[in-house]
Amino acid sequence: MLTAKLSVNDTGRLRDETVEPEIVRPAGNTNNAVRARQLSKRFGQNTILDRLDLDIRPGEFIALLGRSGSGKTTLLRALAGLDQISSGDLQVPQARAAVFQEPRLMPWKRAWRNVVMGLHMPQARERARQALAEVGLAHRENAWPGTLSGGEAQRVALARALVREPQLLLLDEPFAALDALTRIRMHQLILSLWRVHQPAVLLVTHDVDEAVLLADRVLVLDGGRIVADLRIDQQRPRSAENHAFQKVRTQLLQLLGVELDADAAAPKPVLHLVPPSPAAPFNLSNYSI
Amino acid sequence: MSIATASPSDTPALQAPAASGQRLFRQVLRRRLRAFLSRAASPAAILLLWEIASRLGFIPERILAAPSQIGATFGALVASGEMGSNILVSLGRVLTGLSISLSLGTALALISGLSRRGEVIVDSPMQMVRTLPFVGLVPLFILWFGIGEFTKVTLIAFATTFPMYLTLYSGIRSIDAKLIEAGRLFGLGHFGLIWHVILPGALPSFLLGLRYALGISWLSLVIVEQINATAGLGYLINNARDFMRTDIIVVCLLAYSLLGLFTDLLVRSIEHFALAWRPSFIKD
Protein backbone atom coordinates (compact mmCIF):
# COMPACT_ATOMS: atom_id res chain seq x y z
CA MET A 1 0.00 0.00 0.00
CA LEU A 2 1.29 3.39 -0.88
CA THR A 3 1.37 5.74 2.05
CA ALA A 4 2.26 9.34 2.40
CA LYS A 5 4.66 10.12 5.15
CA LEU A 6 4.07 13.34 6.98
CA SER A 7 6.87 14.00 9.36
CA VAL A 8 8.53 16.82 11.19
CA ASN A 9 12.00 16.79 12.62
CA ASP A 10 12.42 17.21 16.33
CA THR A 11 13.75 20.74 16.25
CA GLY A 12 10.17 21.73 15.51
CA ARG A 13 10.87 23.14 12.07
CA LEU A 14 7.93 22.33 9.90
CA ARG A 15 8.74 20.62 6.71
CA ASP A 16 6.19 21.44 4.11
CA GLU A 17 5.19 17.86 3.49
CA THR A 18 1.55 18.05 4.36
CA VAL A 19 0.93 19.98 1.18
CA GLU A 20 2.77 17.67 -1.18
CA PRO A 21 3.20 14.45 0.76
CA GLU A 22 6.17 12.37 -0.27
CA ILE A 23 5.18 8.83 -1.10
CA VAL A 24 6.98 6.07 0.76
CA ARG A 25 6.48 2.37 1.26
CA PRO A 26 5.73 1.55 4.88
CA ALA A 27 8.73 0.15 6.70
CA GLY A 28 8.84 -3.47 7.83
CA ASN A 29 5.70 -4.92 9.32
CA THR A 30 3.73 -1.70 9.53
CA ASN A 31 1.07 -2.87 7.16
CA ASN A 32 -1.37 -0.38 8.58
CA ALA A 33 -3.58 2.17 6.91
CA VAL A 34 -2.63 4.73 9.52
CA ARG A 35 0.46 4.71 11.68
CA ALA A 36 1.08 7.62 14.02
CA ARG A 37 3.96 7.77 16.46
CA GLN A 38 4.55 10.54 18.99
CA LEU A 39 2.19 12.74 17.00
CA SER A 40 1.90 16.22 18.46
CA LYS A 41 0.01 19.30 17.41
CA ARG A 42 0.46 22.59 19.16
CA PHE A 43 -1.25 25.91 18.60
CA GLY A 44 1.02 28.42 20.31
CA GLN A 45 1.22 27.39 23.97
CA ASN A 46 -1.68 24.94 23.69
CA THR A 47 -0.86 21.31 23.07
CA ILE A 48 -3.87 19.77 21.35
CA LEU A 49 -2.38 16.40 20.46
CA ASP A 50 0.27 15.17 22.88
CA ARG A 51 2.69 12.50 21.59
CA LEU A 52 -0.18 10.35 20.37
CA ASP A 53 0.26 6.83 18.99
CA LEU A 54 -2.36 5.40 16.67
CA ASP A 55 -2.60 2.39 14.37
CA ILE A 56 -5.52 1.69 12.08
CA ARG A 57 -5.54 -1.52 10.07
CA PRO A 58 -6.74 -1.54 6.48
CA GLY A 59 -10.51 -1.87 6.40
CA GLU A 60 -10.92 -1.25 10.09
CA PHE A 61 -13.82 0.87 11.36
CA ILE A 62 -12.66 3.13 14.17
CA ALA A 63 -14.84 5.49 16.18
CA LEU A 64 -13.11 8.31 18.00
CA LEU A 65 -14.90 9.68 21.05
CA GLY A 66 -13.90 12.54 23.24
CA ARG A 67 -15.20 15.58 25.03
CA SER A 68 -15.25 18.80 23.09
CA GLY A 69 -11.78 20.24 22.97
CA SER A 70 -10.16 16.85 23.39
CA GLY A 71 -8.51 17.09 19.97
CA LYS A 72 -10.80 14.79 17.94
CA THR A 73 -11.18 17.11 15.01
CA THR A 74 -7.53 18.17 15.18
CA LEU A 75 -6.48 14.54 14.82
CA LEU A 76 -8.85 14.03 11.90
CA ARG A 77 -7.58 17.15 10.18
CA ALA A 78 -4.01 16.00 10.66
CA LEU A 79 -4.86 12.63 9.10
CA ALA A 80 -6.63 14.39 6.22
CA GLY A 81 -3.56 16.52 5.62
CA LEU A 82 -5.54 19.71 6.20
CA ASP A 83 -3.33 20.79 9.10
CA GLN A 84 0.38 20.28 9.49
CA ILE A 85 1.55 18.37 12.53
CA SER A 86 3.96 20.00 14.95
CA SER A 87 6.14 16.97 15.57
CA GLY A 88 6.11 13.20 15.37
CA ASP A 89 5.66 10.72 12.62
CA LEU A 90 2.51 10.07 10.65
CA GLN A 91 1.87 7.67 7.80
CA VAL A 92 -1.44 7.76 5.99
CA PRO A 93 -2.61 6.31 2.67
CA GLN A 94 -2.40 8.52 -0.38
CA ALA A 95 -6.07 7.91 -1.17
CA ARG A 96 -7.97 9.72 1.56
CA ALA A 97 -11.38 11.32 1.58
CA ALA A 98 -13.47 13.05 4.17
CA VAL A 99 -17.07 13.86 5.00
CA PHE A 100 -17.63 16.71 7.39
CA GLN A 101 -20.49 17.73 9.62
CA GLU A 102 -21.69 20.11 6.93
CA PRO A 103 -21.84 18.69 3.38
CA ARG A 104 -19.50 21.32 1.89
CA LEU A 105 -20.90 20.89 -1.59
CA MET A 106 -20.22 23.62 -4.12
CA PRO A 107 -23.66 25.23 -4.45
CA TRP A 108 -22.95 26.20 -8.07
CA LYS A 109 -22.23 22.65 -9.19
CA ARG A 110 -24.94 20.09 -9.81
CA ALA A 111 -24.84 17.01 -7.60
CA TRP A 112 -22.95 14.82 -10.07
CA ARG A 113 -20.35 17.50 -10.77
CA ASN A 114 -19.77 17.84 -7.05
CA VAL A 115 -19.16 14.11 -6.83
CA VAL A 116 -16.38 14.09 -9.44
CA MET A 117 -14.99 17.52 -8.60
CA GLY A 118 -11.22 17.60 -8.89
CA LEU A 119 -11.03 14.20 -10.57
CA HIS A 120 -9.65 13.71 -14.03
CA MET A 121 -11.15 10.46 -15.16
CA PRO A 122 -12.77 9.17 -18.31
CA GLN A 123 -16.56 8.88 -18.17
CA ALA A 124 -16.71 11.07 -15.10
CA ARG A 125 -20.44 11.45 -15.44
CA GLU A 126 -20.97 7.69 -15.53
CA ARG A 127 -18.80 7.25 -12.43
CA ALA A 128 -20.67 10.02 -10.64
CA ARG A 129 -23.98 8.41 -11.54
CA GLN A 130 -22.83 5.08 -10.16
CA ALA A 131 -21.61 6.66 -6.93
CA LEU A 132 -24.88 8.54 -6.52
CA ALA A 133 -26.81 5.34 -7.17
CA GLU A 134 -24.84 3.68 -4.39
CA VAL A 135 -26.08 6.25 -1.91
CA GLY A 136 -29.60 6.05 -3.36
CA LEU A 137 -29.56 9.39 -5.15
CA ALA A 138 -29.37 8.39 -8.82
CA HIS A 139 -32.52 10.43 -9.49
CA ARG A 140 -30.92 13.57 -8.05
CA GLU A 141 -27.78 13.67 -10.16
CA ASN A 142 -28.78 16.97 -11.77
CA ALA A 143 -30.05 18.64 -8.62
CA TRP A 144 -28.54 21.85 -7.32
CA PRO A 145 -27.20 21.32 -3.79
CA GLY A 146 -29.55 24.08 -2.62
CA THR A 147 -32.52 21.85 -3.38
CA LEU A 148 -31.24 18.83 -1.44
CA SER A 149 -32.38 18.01 2.08
CA GLY A 150 -29.75 17.74 4.80
CA GLY A 151 -29.63 13.96 4.52
CA GLU A 152 -29.48 14.01 0.73
CA ALA A 153 -26.66 16.57 0.73
CA GLN A 154 -24.73 14.46 3.19
CA ARG A 155 -25.23 11.41 0.95
CA VAL A 156 -23.86 13.36 -2.02
CA ALA A 157 -20.86 14.27 0.14
CA LEU A 158 -20.48 10.56 0.91
CA ALA A 159 -20.64 9.70 -2.79
CA ARG A 160 -18.01 12.35 -3.45
CA ALA A 161 -15.74 10.69 -0.89
CA LEU A 162 -16.35 7.12 -2.06
CA VAL A 163 -15.92 7.76 -5.79
CA ARG A 164 -12.25 8.35 -4.96
CA GLU A 165 -11.96 4.77 -3.62
CA PRO A 166 -10.22 5.95 -0.45
CA GLN A 167 -8.09 3.66 1.66
CA LEU A 168 -8.85 5.94 4.56
CA LEU A 169 -12.28 7.50 4.96
CA LEU A 170 -12.46 10.28 7.52
CA LEU A 171 -15.87 11.13 8.93
CA ASP A 172 -16.08 14.24 11.10
CA GLU A 173 -19.43 14.03 12.91
CA PRO A 174 -21.18 13.57 9.58
CA PHE A 175 -24.53 12.72 11.17
CA ALA A 176 -24.56 15.36 13.89
CA ALA A 177 -26.77 17.81 11.99
CA LEU A 178 -29.29 15.21 10.82
CA ASP A 179 -32.59 14.31 12.42
CA ALA A 180 -32.86 11.03 14.30
CA LEU A 181 -34.58 9.04 11.55
CA THR A 182 -32.21 10.24 8.83
CA ARG A 183 -29.31 9.39 11.12
CA ILE A 184 -30.50 5.78 11.39
CA ARG A 185 -30.66 5.53 7.62
CA MET A 186 -27.18 6.99 7.34
CA HIS A 187 -25.78 4.48 9.85
CA GLN A 188 -27.15 1.67 7.72
CA LEU A 189 -25.79 3.25 4.57
CA ILE A 190 -22.32 3.81 6.01
CA LEU A 191 -22.08 0.22 7.15
CA SER A 192 -23.16 -1.23 3.83
CA LEU A 193 -20.84 1.05 1.86
CA TRP A 194 -18.01 0.21 4.21
CA ARG A 195 -18.60 -3.49 3.57
CA VAL A 196 -18.49 -2.96 -0.19
CA HIS A 197 -15.52 -0.60 -0.43
CA GLN A 198 -13.62 -1.69 2.68
CA PRO A 199 -11.78 1.52 3.45
CA ALA A 200 -10.32 2.09 6.86
CA VAL A 201 -12.77 4.45 8.56
CA LEU A 202 -12.16 6.98 11.27
CA LEU A 203 -15.46 8.29 12.57
CA VAL A 204 -15.23 11.26 14.90
CA THR A 205 -18.36 11.51 16.98
CA HIS A 206 -19.61 12.60 20.38
CA ASP A 207 -22.43 10.09 20.30
CA VAL A 208 -21.46 7.03 22.34
CA ASP A 209 -24.32 4.91 20.99
CA GLU A 210 -23.34 5.70 17.43
CA ALA A 211 -19.75 4.71 18.15
CA VAL A 212 -20.68 1.39 19.71
CA LEU A 213 -23.25 0.69 17.03
CA LEU A 214 -20.85 1.09 14.13
CA ALA A 215 -17.22 0.60 15.02
CA ASP A 216 -14.78 -2.29 15.34
CA ARG A 217 -12.83 -0.28 17.85
CA VAL A 218 -13.77 2.74 19.91
CA LEU A 219 -11.01 5.10 20.94
CA VAL A 220 -11.41 7.73 23.62
CA LEU A 221 -9.30 10.82 23.29
CA ASP A 222 -8.58 12.97 26.31
CA GLY A 223 -5.99 15.66 26.82
CA GLY A 224 -4.52 14.97 23.40
CA ARG A 225 -3.84 11.29 24.08
CA ILE A 226 -5.76 8.11 23.49
CA VAL A 227 -6.85 7.00 26.94
CA ALA A 228 -8.96 4.00 25.97
CA ASP A 229 -9.07 1.55 23.11
CA LEU A 230 -12.09 -0.75 23.24
CA ARG A 231 -12.63 -3.54 20.78
CA ILE A 232 -16.32 -4.18 20.07
CA ASP A 233 -16.72 -7.78 19.03
CA GLN A 234 -20.50 -7.90 18.79
CA GLN A 235 -22.03 -9.02 15.56
CA ARG A 236 -23.60 -6.34 13.40
CA PRO A 237 -26.34 -5.24 13.27
CA ARG A 238 -26.13 -4.34 16.91
CA SER A 239 -28.92 -3.48 19.27
CA ALA A 240 -28.64 -0.80 21.91
CA GLU A 241 -30.84 -2.96 24.14
CA ASN A 242 -28.28 -5.70 24.22
CA HIS A 243 -26.63 -6.19 27.62
CA ALA A 244 -23.11 -6.19 26.20
CA PHE A 245 -23.91 -2.98 24.34
CA GLN A 246 -25.09 -1.36 27.55
CA LYS A 247 -21.94 -2.45 29.37
CA VAL A 248 -19.66 -0.92 26.77
CA ARG A 249 -21.78 2.17 26.68
CA THR A 250 -21.60 2.70 30.44
CA GLN A 251 -17.88 2.06 30.39
CA LEU A 252 -17.36 4.64 27.65
CA LEU A 253 -19.55 7.21 29.35
CA GLN A 254 -17.49 6.80 32.51
CA LEU A 255 -14.32 7.32 30.49
CA LEU A 256 -15.87 10.47 29.13
CA GLY A 257 -16.60 11.67 32.64
CA VAL A 258 -20.32 10.99 32.70
CA GLU A 259 -21.21 9.06 35.87
CA LEU A 260 -24.50 7.27 35.60
CA ASP A 261 -26.58 6.45 38.65
CA ALA A 262 -28.48 3.17 38.74
CA ASP A 263 -31.61 4.70 37.23
CA ALA A 264 -29.94 6.36 34.32
CA ALA A 265 -27.84 3.30 33.58
CA ALA A 266 -30.96 1.22 32.99
CA PRO A 267 -31.65 0.63 29.31
CA LYS A 268 -33.10 3.82 27.96
CA PRO A 269 -35.80 3.65 25.32
CA VAL A 270 -33.88 4.15 22.12
CA LEU A 271 -34.48 3.37 18.49
CA HIS A 272 -33.17 -0.10 18.09
CA LEU A 273 -31.78 -1.40 14.92
CA VAL A 274 -32.65 -5.03 14.35
CA PRO A 275 -33.80 -5.44 10.79
CA PRO A 276 -35.48 -8.84 10.18
CA SER A 277 -32.63 -9.81 7.93
CA PRO A 278 -29.35 -7.96 7.59
CA ALA A 279 -29.61 -8.29 3.84
CA ALA A 280 -33.08 -6.75 3.70
CA PRO A 281 -33.13 -3.26 2.23
CA PHE A 282 -33.73 -0.52 4.71
CA ASN A 283 -37.37 0.02 5.41
CA LEU A 284 -38.57 2.10 8.29
CA SER A 285 -41.42 -0.28 9.05
CA ASN A 286 -38.84 -2.90 9.99
CA TYR A 287 -37.88 -0.84 13.00
CA SER A 288 -39.75 -0.45 16.20
CA ILE A 289 -39.48 2.79 18.01
CA MET B 1 -54.72 4.63 -2.16
CA SER B 2 -57.66 6.75 -3.05
CA ILE B 3 -55.68 9.35 -4.93
CA ALA B 4 -54.51 7.78 -8.15
CA THR B 5 -57.55 5.81 -9.25
CA ALA B 6 -58.89 7.43 -12.39
CA SER B 7 -61.32 5.16 -14.19
CA PRO B 8 -63.08 6.18 -17.45
CA SER B 9 -66.22 6.96 -15.50
CA ASP B 10 -64.32 9.69 -13.69
CA THR B 11 -63.69 11.72 -16.82
CA PRO B 12 -66.77 13.99 -16.56
CA ALA B 13 -65.85 14.68 -12.97
CA LEU B 14 -62.36 15.72 -14.10
CA GLN B 15 -63.80 18.45 -16.31
CA ALA B 16 -65.33 20.24 -13.37
CA PRO B 17 -61.96 21.06 -11.76
CA ALA B 18 -60.73 22.31 -15.16
CA ALA B 19 -63.69 24.68 -15.39
CA SER B 20 -63.19 25.86 -11.84
CA GLY B 21 -59.49 26.28 -12.65
CA GLN B 22 -60.46 28.63 -15.45
CA ARG B 23 -62.72 30.52 -13.12
CA LEU B 24 -59.89 30.75 -10.60
CA PHE B 25 -57.58 32.09 -13.30
CA ARG B 26 -60.11 34.75 -14.25
CA GLN B 27 -60.53 35.66 -10.60
CA VAL B 28 -56.78 36.05 -10.16
CA LEU B 29 -56.63 38.16 -13.31
CA ARG B 30 -59.40 40.40 -12.07
CA ARG B 31 -57.72 40.79 -8.69
CA ARG B 32 -54.41 41.67 -10.37
CA LEU B 33 -56.14 44.22 -12.58
CA ARG B 34 -57.86 45.80 -9.60
CA ALA B 35 -54.56 45.99 -7.71
CA PHE B 36 -52.89 47.58 -10.73
CA LEU B 37 -55.68 50.12 -11.16
CA SER B 38 -55.61 51.11 -7.50
CA ARG B 39 -51.84 51.57 -7.66
CA ALA B 40 -52.02 53.52 -10.92
CA ALA B 41 -54.85 55.78 -9.76
CA SER B 42 -52.70 58.24 -7.87
CA PRO B 43 -50.04 58.81 -10.61
CA ALA B 44 -52.82 59.10 -13.18
CA ALA B 45 -54.55 61.73 -11.06
CA ILE B 46 -51.31 63.72 -10.79
CA LEU B 47 -50.81 63.55 -14.55
CA LEU B 48 -54.40 64.70 -15.06
CA LEU B 49 -53.99 67.63 -12.65
CA TRP B 50 -50.70 68.52 -14.36
CA GLU B 51 -52.41 68.46 -17.76
CA ILE B 52 -55.32 70.61 -16.52
CA ALA B 53 -52.95 73.08 -14.82
CA SER B 54 -50.96 73.38 -18.05
CA ARG B 55 -54.07 73.88 -20.18
CA LEU B 56 -55.42 76.53 -17.81
CA GLY B 57 -52.05 78.32 -17.89
CA PHE B 58 -51.10 77.76 -14.24
CA ILE B 59 -47.90 76.03 -15.41
CA PRO B 60 -46.28 78.03 -18.25
CA GLU B 61 -44.76 75.97 -21.02
CA ARG B 62 -41.28 77.40 -20.45
CA ILE B 63 -41.38 76.05 -16.86
CA LEU B 64 -42.80 72.60 -17.66
CA ALA B 65 -44.62 71.33 -20.74
CA ALA B 66 -47.95 69.52 -20.49
CA PRO B 67 -47.91 65.69 -20.44
CA SER B 68 -49.80 65.51 -23.71
CA GLN B 69 -47.22 67.76 -25.36
CA ILE B 70 -44.35 65.70 -23.93
CA GLY B 71 -45.96 62.60 -25.40
CA ALA B 72 -46.35 64.25 -28.79
CA THR B 73 -42.74 65.49 -28.73
CA PHE B 74 -41.53 62.02 -27.87
CA GLY B 75 -43.45 60.62 -30.83
CA ALA B 76 -42.03 63.28 -33.14
CA LEU B 77 -38.44 62.76 -31.94
CA VAL B 78 -38.71 59.02 -32.43
CA ALA B 79 -40.34 59.44 -35.85
CA SER B 80 -37.63 61.81 -37.09
CA GLY B 81 -34.93 59.35 -35.94
CA GLU B 82 -33.36 62.08 -33.82
CA MET B 83 -34.13 60.16 -30.63
CA GLY B 84 -32.75 56.86 -31.84
CA SER B 85 -29.45 58.23 -33.17
CA ASN B 86 -28.77 60.28 -30.03
CA ILE B 87 -29.65 57.39 -27.71
CA LEU B 88 -27.20 55.24 -29.64
CA VAL B 89 -24.45 57.82 -29.10
CA SER B 90 -25.16 57.95 -25.35
CA LEU B 91 -25.41 54.18 -25.10
CA GLY B 92 -22.11 53.87 -26.95
CA ARG B 93 -20.40 56.15 -24.41
CA VAL B 94 -21.73 54.14 -21.49
CA LEU B 95 -20.81 50.79 -23.03
CA THR B 96 -17.28 51.92 -23.90
CA GLY B 97 -16.72 53.31 -20.41
CA LEU B 98 -18.23 50.23 -18.80
CA SER B 99 -16.17 47.78 -20.80
CA ILE B 100 -13.02 49.58 -19.65
CA SER B 101 -14.09 49.66 -16.00
CA LEU B 102 -15.35 46.09 -16.14
CA SER B 103 -11.99 44.78 -17.32
CA LEU B 104 -9.97 47.07 -15.05
CA GLY B 105 -12.12 46.54 -11.94
CA THR B 106 -12.23 42.78 -12.43
CA ALA B 107 -8.48 42.52 -13.02
CA LEU B 108 -7.67 44.63 -9.96
CA ALA B 109 -10.15 42.71 -7.79
CA LEU B 110 -8.65 39.40 -8.87
CA ILE B 111 -5.14 40.65 -8.09
CA SER B 112 -5.99 41.83 -4.59
CA GLY B 113 -8.57 39.13 -3.91
CA LEU B 114 -6.39 36.18 -4.82
CA SER B 115 -3.04 37.15 -3.34
CA ARG B 116 -1.95 38.81 -0.14
CA ARG B 117 0.85 40.63 -1.89
CA GLY B 118 -1.57 41.86 -4.54
CA GLU B 119 -3.87 43.11 -1.81
CA VAL B 120 -1.05 45.13 -0.25
CA ILE B 121 -0.15 46.69 -3.58
CA VAL B 122 -3.61 47.28 -5.05
CA ASP B 123 -6.11 47.65 -2.25
CA SER B 124 -4.88 50.65 -0.29
CA PRO B 125 -4.51 52.96 -3.33
CA MET B 126 -7.94 51.85 -4.54
CA GLN B 127 -9.48 52.58 -1.15
CA MET B 128 -7.86 56.02 -1.17
CA VAL B 129 -8.87 56.99 -4.69
CA ARG B 130 -12.42 55.70 -4.38
CA THR B 131 -13.25 58.37 -1.80
CA LEU B 132 -12.62 61.10 -4.40
CA PRO B 133 -15.95 62.41 -5.70
CA PHE B 134 -15.62 61.80 -9.44
CA VAL B 135 -17.84 64.77 -10.25
CA GLY B 136 -15.19 66.96 -8.68
CA LEU B 137 -12.63 65.53 -11.08
CA VAL B 138 -14.43 66.87 -14.15
CA PRO B 139 -12.42 70.14 -14.33
CA LEU B 140 -9.14 68.23 -13.92
CA PHE B 141 -10.10 65.73 -16.61
CA ILE B 142 -11.02 68.58 -18.96
CA LEU B 143 -7.62 70.15 -18.37
CA TRP B 144 -5.87 66.82 -18.99
CA PHE B 145 -7.88 65.36 -21.83
CA GLY B 146 -9.79 68.28 -23.35
CA ILE B 147 -13.53 68.35 -23.92
CA GLY B 148 -13.83 65.53 -26.46
CA GLU B 149 -15.16 61.98 -26.31
CA PHE B 150 -12.06 60.74 -24.49
CA THR B 151 -12.82 62.74 -21.36
CA LYS B 152 -16.43 61.56 -21.32
CA VAL B 153 -15.59 57.89 -21.67
CA THR B 154 -12.71 58.12 -19.18
CA LEU B 155 -14.91 59.73 -16.56
CA ILE B 156 -17.56 57.03 -16.93
CA ALA B 157 -14.88 54.35 -16.71
CA PHE B 158 -13.32 56.01 -13.67
CA ALA B 159 -16.63 56.32 -11.84
CA THR B 160 -17.66 52.71 -12.46
CA THR B 161 -14.35 50.95 -11.78
CA PHE B 162 -14.74 51.27 -8.02
CA PRO B 163 -18.10 49.53 -7.55
CA MET B 164 -16.84 46.71 -9.77
CA TYR B 165 -13.62 46.43 -7.83
CA LEU B 166 -15.08 46.71 -4.34
CA THR B 167 -17.93 44.23 -4.72
CA LEU B 168 -15.89 41.61 -6.55
CA TYR B 169 -13.00 41.93 -4.12
CA SER B 170 -15.25 41.49 -1.10
CA GLY B 171 -17.03 38.65 -2.91
CA ILE B 172 -13.77 36.79 -3.41
CA ARG B 173 -12.72 37.38 0.17
CA SER B 174 -16.04 36.27 1.67
CA ILE B 175 -16.10 32.82 0.07
CA ASP B 176 -16.64 30.16 2.71
CA ALA B 177 -13.20 28.90 3.79
CA LYS B 178 -14.76 25.49 4.35
CA LEU B 179 -15.59 25.20 0.66
CA ILE B 180 -12.02 26.12 -0.28
CA GLU B 181 -10.76 23.50 2.17
CA ALA B 182 -13.09 20.89 0.69
CA GLY B 183 -11.92 21.79 -2.80
CA ARG B 184 -8.30 21.40 -1.75
CA LEU B 185 -8.99 18.10 -0.02
CA PHE B 186 -10.76 16.69 -3.06
CA GLY B 187 -7.87 17.35 -5.36
CA LEU B 188 -8.22 20.86 -6.71
CA GLY B 189 -4.93 22.64 -7.32
CA HIS B 190 -4.32 26.36 -7.18
CA PHE B 191 -5.94 27.12 -10.52
CA GLY B 192 -8.62 24.49 -10.00
CA LEU B 193 -9.62 26.27 -6.78
CA ILE B 194 -9.82 29.61 -8.56
CA TRP B 195 -11.83 28.18 -11.46
CA HIS B 196 -14.15 25.78 -9.61
CA VAL B 197 -14.59 27.50 -6.25
CA ILE B 198 -13.51 31.11 -6.07
CA LEU B 199 -14.77 32.53 -9.36
CA PRO B 200 -18.22 30.87 -9.30
CA GLY B 201 -18.50 31.79 -5.63
CA ALA B 202 -17.73 35.42 -6.40
CA LEU B 203 -20.06 35.60 -9.41
CA PRO B 204 -23.06 36.89 -7.42
CA SER B 205 -20.92 39.75 -6.12
CA PHE B 206 -19.61 40.41 -9.61
CA LEU B 207 -23.13 40.76 -10.99
CA LEU B 208 -24.16 42.94 -8.08
CA GLY B 209 -21.15 45.14 -8.80
CA LEU B 210 -22.18 45.24 -12.45
CA ARG B 211 -25.60 46.53 -11.48
CA TYR B 212 -24.11 49.22 -9.24
CA ALA B 213 -21.72 50.15 -12.04
CA LEU B 214 -24.57 50.42 -14.53
CA GLY B 215 -26.53 52.69 -12.23
CA ILE B 216 -23.52 54.94 -11.70
CA SER B 217 -22.67 54.89 -15.40
CA TRP B 218 -26.02 56.51 -16.31
CA LEU B 219 -25.53 59.09 -13.60
CA SER B 220 -22.04 59.94 -14.84
CA LEU B 221 -23.32 59.99 -18.43
CA VAL B 222 -25.76 62.77 -17.54
CA ILE B 223 -22.90 64.73 -16.00
CA VAL B 224 -20.31 64.23 -18.75
CA GLU B 225 -22.84 65.00 -21.47
CA GLN B 226 -23.12 68.49 -20.08
CA ILE B 227 -19.55 69.02 -21.30
CA ASN B 228 -19.67 70.32 -24.87
CA ALA B 229 -21.58 67.42 -26.35
CA THR B 230 -22.26 67.47 -30.10
CA ALA B 231 -24.43 64.39 -30.03
CA GLY B 232 -26.22 62.25 -27.48
CA LEU B 233 -29.09 62.82 -25.08
CA GLY B 234 -27.11 65.49 -23.24
CA TYR B 235 -26.68 67.40 -26.50
CA LEU B 236 -30.44 67.25 -27.06
CA ILE B 237 -31.01 68.56 -23.54
CA ASN B 238 -28.53 71.41 -23.94
CA ASN B 239 -30.11 72.46 -27.22
CA ALA B 240 -33.57 72.24 -25.72
CA ARG B 241 -32.47 74.45 -22.83
CA ASP B 242 -31.29 77.13 -25.28
CA PHE B 243 -34.72 77.09 -26.97
CA MET B 244 -36.65 76.70 -23.69
CA ARG B 245 -38.13 73.42 -24.96
CA THR B 246 -39.05 71.87 -21.58
CA ASP B 247 -40.90 69.09 -23.38
CA ILE B 248 -37.69 67.83 -25.05
CA ILE B 249 -35.79 68.03 -21.74
CA VAL B 250 -38.43 65.88 -20.02
CA VAL B 251 -38.44 63.41 -22.92
CA CYS B 252 -34.64 63.05 -22.67
CA LEU B 253 -34.81 62.57 -18.89
CA LEU B 254 -37.39 59.84 -19.46
CA ALA B 255 -35.07 58.27 -22.05
CA TYR B 256 -32.23 58.22 -19.48
CA SER B 257 -34.41 56.42 -16.94
CA LEU B 258 -35.72 53.96 -19.54
CA LEU B 259 -32.15 53.13 -20.57
CA GLY B 260 -31.26 52.55 -16.92
CA LEU B 261 -34.28 50.30 -16.44
CA PHE B 262 -33.48 48.38 -19.60
CA THR B 263 -29.86 47.63 -18.71
CA ASP B 264 -30.83 46.68 -15.17
CA LEU B 265 -33.31 44.22 -16.64
CA LEU B 266 -30.53 42.85 -18.82
CA VAL B 267 -28.28 42.13 -15.83
CA ARG B 268 -31.20 40.62 -13.95
CA SER B 269 -31.79 38.16 -16.74
CA ILE B 270 -28.09 37.31 -16.81
CA GLU B 271 -28.36 36.65 -13.08
CA HIS B 272 -31.31 34.37 -13.63
CA PHE B 273 -29.28 32.37 -16.08
CA ALA B 274 -25.87 32.39 -14.39
CA LEU B 275 -27.03 32.06 -10.79
CA ALA B 276 -29.65 29.38 -11.38
CA TRP B 277 -28.15 27.48 -8.45
CA ARG B 278 -29.05 30.13 -5.89
CA PRO B 279 -31.90 29.13 -3.59
CA SER B 280 -33.70 32.40 -4.39
CA PHE B 281 -33.89 31.37 -8.06
CA ILE B 282 -34.84 27.77 -7.36
CA LYS B 283 -38.58 28.03 -7.14
CA ASP B 284 -39.76 24.61 -8.20
Q: Give domain limits for chain B.
A: 21-59, 67-274
CB B276 within 8 A of CB A144: yes
Chain B residues with beta carbon closer than 8 angstroms to that of A109? 196, 200, 277
Q: Which of A83, A100, A106 to mutate to test the interface with B (most CBs of B within 10 A)?
A: A106
> Which pLDDT belongs to residue A122?
85
Partner-chain contact B277 A104, CB within 8 Å: no
Helix ranges restricted to H, A81-179 = 111-115, 124-134, 150-162
d(CA A87, CA A42) in angstroms, rounded, equals: 9
DSSP B230: S
Show me where the domains of chain A are located.
56-81+165-286
- Report the chain B residue with the minimal C-alpha distance to residue A165: B186
Partner-chain contact A146 B197, CB within 8 Å: no
d(CA B125, CA B129) in angstroms, rounded, equals: 6
Residue A108 has pLDDT above 50, yes or no: yes
Residue A270 has pLDDT above 70, yes or no: no
Residue A164 has pLDDT above 80, yes or no: yes
Q: What is the pLDDT along chain B (284 residues), one digit of tens a residue?
A: 344 444 444 444 445 555 677 888 888 889 889 988 888 899 899 999 999 999 998 988 888 999 999 999 999 999 999 899 999 999 999 999 999 999 999 999 999 998 899 999 999 999 999 888 888 888 999 999 988 899 999 999 999 999 999 999 999 999 999 999 999 999 898 899 999 999 999 999 999 999 999 989 988 998 888 887 788 888 899 889 898 899 999 999 999 888 888 888 999 899 988 888 887 766 54
Nearest CA among A154, A39, A148, A157 for reference residue A92: A39
Q: pLDDT for A111-143, tens place per residue? A: 999 999 988 888 899 999 999 999 999 999 999
Q: Which of A84, A100, A108, A148 to mutate to test the interface with B (most CBs of B within 10 A)?
A: A108
Partner-chain contact B203 A104, CB within 8 Å: no
DSSP A27: P
CATH class of B67-274: mainly alpha
Q: pLDDT for B99-131, tens place per residue? A: 999 999 999 999 999 889 999 999 999 999 988
ipTM here:
0.75
> Which pLDDT belongs to residue A279?
44
Q: Distance, in angstroms, between B189 CA and closest chain A CA?
A: 8
CATH superfamily, with its number, for domain A56-81+165-286: P-loop containing nucleotide triphosphate hydrolases (3.40.50.300)
For chain A, the distance separating the N- and C-terminal CA atoms, rounded to the nearest angstrom, is 43
Q: Distance, in angstroms, between A167 CA and closest chain B CA?
A: 14
Q: pLDDT for A215-236, tens place per residue? A: 999 999 988 889 889 898 888 8
